């Protein structure tokens, strides 16, 4: 099958949707399918040499408590049109299609089987509330809808109508389960270690809550350490930690994928103190695959990943005392940590990409039994991109030529 994947966010900026598209493409290629990716990026040279086409630059805008990518207009549409024509795809799979991005452009321009995955989970989406009625006619062209969680499904049903099948994010379980720890750090040593990974300068990730809890943890476990990995301002981080906690906190900075796996294999407990805006919890899966017991906020998405608390410990979000009690308790009970680690390994097996990709393929096969992807007439696209009404019908014919992996304009 020839499959086109569309990532709406900057490929060279780390993020969950980017990783999802990357890993899905890799898995599908490993299963023998031809897969091409269309994505914006700050710099085209940051893209892989093959199978990834540059959709141009995108403007970052606040969305769902983080930063999304705004990309629209006639120039971007021309890139999308060329990619669709030259790809000769049997199906295209767009991610987060509602905001103005490459994904929405594909929904406007493409004719034929379109599958969409909805990732965001936010109870109050100003964009969807304001623009949902305008984008809905274009999203009605989607043949198969996927949501990564029940929460993400409810959000898209509420704002956009229709329904979606829930297929979770995936993780390459063996890549996290096997390998050495970080040099100088070993799970089970006399220095109990808690791990945190994420954009530590984003309030919704909850690091300040964890730091306050650590002040209680080190009273019960004076040798305890917190390893923090991710992006942010080191100077602001140092101020946040404070002199009293500094001897117990190590900032590792941004980690490459192999280093991230080693990091998760090194910690005695992984902590996710997130406060809001999480539609899933891939990092929890990665920690579980690496054998780390998990303590996480009781967000809806995290509860689903942790099997309502049977594969990890859930605490009320923002509750410093409860978080400190949970962390201190696990550090004091090696048997309980081993029990949770075993439960996590059992639970994460269903999220391995080899399993998840087959579920996504089943959606492709349902919506694309015959035919393929074409494009609408450019005049219809121009009207939509300039603010006109959706076209009354689908016009235009599909043409395909030799695929060019890069689009330059």
* 116 lies in some domain: yes
Same-domain status, 88 and 180: no
* 390 lies in some domain: no
Cα(344)–Cα(340) distance, rounded to whole angstroms? Answer: 6
Cα(280)–Cα(300) distance, rounded to whole angstroms? Answer: 8
Q: Which of 115, 44, 88, 54 is nearest to 357 (CA)?
A: 115
Residues 65, 75 contacting (CB under 8 angstroms): no
Same-domain status, 125 and 191: no
Residue 390 has pLDDT above 60, yes or no: no
Same-domain status, 358 and 341: no
According to the model, what pLDDT value does residue 168 have? Answer: 93
Name the residue range of residue 345's domain. Answer: 173-350
According to the model, what pLDDT value does residue 395 have? Answer: 34
Same-domain status, 184 and 312: yes
Residues 40, 55 contacting (CB under 8 angstroms): yes
User: Which of 350, 369, 400 finishes a domain?
Assistant: 350
Per residue in 349-363, pLDDT (tens digit) is 999 999 999 999 999
Q: How many residues does the chain have?
A: 409
Same-domain status, 145 and 198: no
Per residue in 265-319, pLDDT (tens digit) is 999 999 999 998 787 889 999 999 999 999 999 998 899 999 999 999 999 999 9
Cα(247)–Cα(306) distance, rounded to whole angstroms? Answer: 31
* 223 lies in some domain: yes
Task: Calculate mean pLDDT across residues 177-195.
Answer: 94
Strand, helix or coil for residue 37: strand
Same-domain status, 302 and 378: no
According to the model, what pLDDT value does residue 75 have? Answer: 79
Same-domain status, 230 and 303: yes
Same-domain status, 312 and 372: no
* 376 lies in some domain: yes
Cα(302)–Cα(135) distance, rounded to whole angstroms? Answer: 30
According to the model, what pLDDT value does residue 16 have? Answer: 86
Same-domain status, 134 and 190: no
| Tally of domains in the chain | 2
Residue 22: pLDDT band with limits 50, 70, 90: very high
Same-domain status, 128 and 224: no
Q: Which of 162, 167, 120, 164 is nearest to 140 (CA)?
A: 162
- Report the relative pairing of strands 91-95 and 114-118 from DSSP bridges: parallel
Per residue in 94-149, pLDDT (tens digit) is 999 988 889 999 999 999 999 999 987 664 555 555 666 677 788 889 999 999 98
* 14 lies in some domain: yes
Q: Determine which helix (DSSP H) or strand (DSSP E) holds 243, and give its type and residue range.
A: helix 234-245
Q: Which of 208, 269, 15 is nearest to 284 (CA)?
A: 269
Strand, helix or coil for residue 393: coil
CATH number for 14:
3.40.50.2000
Same-domain status, 246 and 160: no
Same-domain status, 142 and 94: yes
* 392 lies in some domain: no
């Amino acid at each position: 099958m020839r499959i086109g994947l569309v990532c709406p966010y900057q490929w060279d900026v780390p993020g969950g949707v980017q990783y999802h598209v990357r890993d899905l493409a890799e898995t599908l290629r490993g299963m023998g399918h031809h897969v091409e990716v269309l994505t914006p990026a700050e710099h085209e040279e940051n893209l892989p040499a093959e199978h990834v086409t540059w959709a141009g630059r995108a403007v970052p805008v606040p969305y769902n408590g983080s930063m999304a990518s705004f990309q629209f207009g006639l120039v971007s549409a021309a890139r999308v049109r060329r990619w669709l024509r030259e790809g000769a795809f049997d199906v295209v799979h767009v991610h987060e299609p509602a905001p103005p991005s490459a994904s929405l452009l594909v929904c406007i321009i493409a004719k034929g089987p379109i599958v969409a995955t909805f990732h965001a989970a936010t109870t109050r989406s100003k964009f969807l509330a304001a623009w949902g009625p305008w984008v809905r006619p274009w999203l009605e062209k989607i043949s198969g809808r996927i949501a990564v969680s029940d929460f993400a499904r409810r959000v898209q049903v509420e704002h956009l109508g229709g329904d979606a099948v829930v297929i979770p994010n995936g993780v390459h379980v063996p890549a996290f389960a096997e390998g050495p720890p970080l040099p100088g750090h070993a799970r089970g040593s006399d220095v109990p270690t808690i791990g945190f990974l994420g954009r530590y300068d984003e309030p919704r990730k909850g690091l300040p809550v964890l730091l306050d809890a650590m002040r209680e943890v080190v009273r019960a476990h004076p040798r305890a350490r917190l390893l923090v990995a991710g992006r942010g301002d080191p100077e602001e981080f140092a101020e946040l930690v404070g002199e009293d906690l500094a001897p117990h906190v190590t900032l590792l900075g941004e980690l490459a994928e192999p280093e991230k796996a080693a990091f998760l294999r090194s910690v005695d407990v992984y902590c996710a103190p997130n406060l809001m805006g999480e539609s899933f919890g891939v990092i929890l899966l990665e920690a579980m695959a690496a054998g780390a017991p998990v303590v996480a906020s009781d967000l809806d998405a995290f509860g689903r990943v942790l099997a309502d608390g049977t594969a990890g410990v859930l605490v009320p979000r923002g509750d410093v005392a409860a978080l400190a009690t949970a962390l201190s308790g696990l550090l004091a009970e090696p048997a309980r940590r081993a029990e949770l680690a075993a439960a996590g390994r059992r639970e994460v097996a269903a999220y391995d990409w080899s399993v998840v990709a087959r579920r996504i393929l089943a959606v492709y096969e349902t919506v694309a039994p015959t035919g393929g992807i074409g494009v609408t007439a450019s005049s219809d696209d121009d009207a939509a991109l300039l603010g006109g009404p959706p076209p009354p019908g689908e016009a235009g014919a599909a043409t395909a030529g030799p695929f060019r992996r890069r689009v330059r304009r």
